[in-house]
Structure 1
């Protein structure tokens, strides 16, 4: 599985949304993706799962799980299937369901595809991007590899693996290095990829539309104030003062003007290009009561949708921008210009001038 991704698709649990959920599993070489996938496939309550990998030899499916095999498909004893994408991730989806597309170690092209390919979007939904982190080696990987940085930065959920191989000081250093890149994602700590299925699949974390209870986690609103640097409107985040990949959190308790915010992000996407990795937020727009889910991957943004309620009942815009070499002060100033002007109200009790 190299440093590439393995989409894990649960195909028998569709909830209200009838589309097939896809979990994109990524992480650097040796992080523990293979161990996690084998645990998932051998779980008695896994249901029917399709796993798409670059080549079978790179994932090492446990031989005891294999019932039948041919050159591009494994049928497992528990009813799951595994398809070899042979260097082309979406070709794996083709042979399973559609017959088209592309995939590489960078998860963002696949994520963008769910916004731009109508046939794909009608059949599948991207449930979450999970990145497995090797606690023992992640600091060095981040220092040497932009690919490792981006895999961490774009994740909806970070799985800190190999906890048994690091002491408390090493663990704290590794977590700090990762949180500098993506401080607002959901996080798990594990050894040997030992996580229950309900913390890996059907999370609704990429673009929460089915589970309102996940919206706060998705945007980082469920984290303590100290974790995100919150200090009122337009709060600055200490994570963004380090050059390179980082996150900026834009906040306001005042409603925003739609056209101004749209122009802000169009300009940002044009200026940053591929250095803009991820945008996700809940926005309080002028004259709109419900929170609006607003998000994009690089220059591709999904159509805005509504959430039913605000996390913790607090009406507040909270937008997380993750990318490379972001100018936090400039972004905060431009974001402040998106606040809607208060409408002038004539109080007849005060008379007329």
Structure 2
């Protein structure tokens, strides 16, 4: 196939979707294709990290997008604040969709990493440019995961949002901890996680410290309070803003770090155990490196409850809360060598599977614009 010009539309909330974009961009370049546009939903509460801008090797163009807003304690999602923020900034969202349509018009194929406006723009501005939608969230559309937890009404709402991001896409690609049969009747394909390049070259050791990732600064404060009573437990915590994000001076042994991809992975490779929000990518990275992980869903984000359940179901992590840290630290059980090897084998198939999927999507003559 000739070299393709590929455009990315990336949800800017959290860091997992950016990690996926970095990985897929590397696969595409190795296959002779080019990422020509990277459009990222901008959060007024979180800057686009420098490691993403430097590592994607393509023009990065932010656009105004709906975001999740933390509550007063800086921990879980506040629905009222999220709605108020979206209403205040909503006039800019239409301009964002116009920009997405214009910037992707000359691409051969568009990849949408769970961005709502990226899907909606294809409904409002029909296009002949084919697209595929990529996210772990789509795995919960698979019938094999019908027994996932939570109220049915909440699950339907979460899945309705995921489907909306795939509006106008030829196929939905569900990132999964393990293999599942494809469901072409649902427009659903299953693929391995998209993990950061270089992960397989890291040498793992078992250090004496706990590694943590705090999505919101209030969780970093919670971790600092926990560590303050356990001075024999060093903690390395990655949080937006680093030490400045903490409400109080950190106790001795608590090290707050600004977000950084390489430094985080080095700490992950050398930690005794990992705790963090139930984001798919960080749990996959810990599992890939054979590290015990405690997945703590961010309050108010039901999709993270699903992620934690799925990770525990697949043996990738223990689902819990920060109240479980003592028990987890006393006995952080790593995945078995066999399970880790199986997972690494699954991840190794990602480049081939994704290049095939992107090329098949680009060969589609016209997109299907019915409800996804």
Q: Which has the higher helix share?
A: 2
Q: Which has the higher contact order (CA 8 A, sep 6+)?
A: 2
How would you bin the TM-score normalised by the shorter chain? 0.3 to 0.5
Normalising by structure 2, what TM-score? 0.32
Normalising by structure 1, what TM-score? 0.34
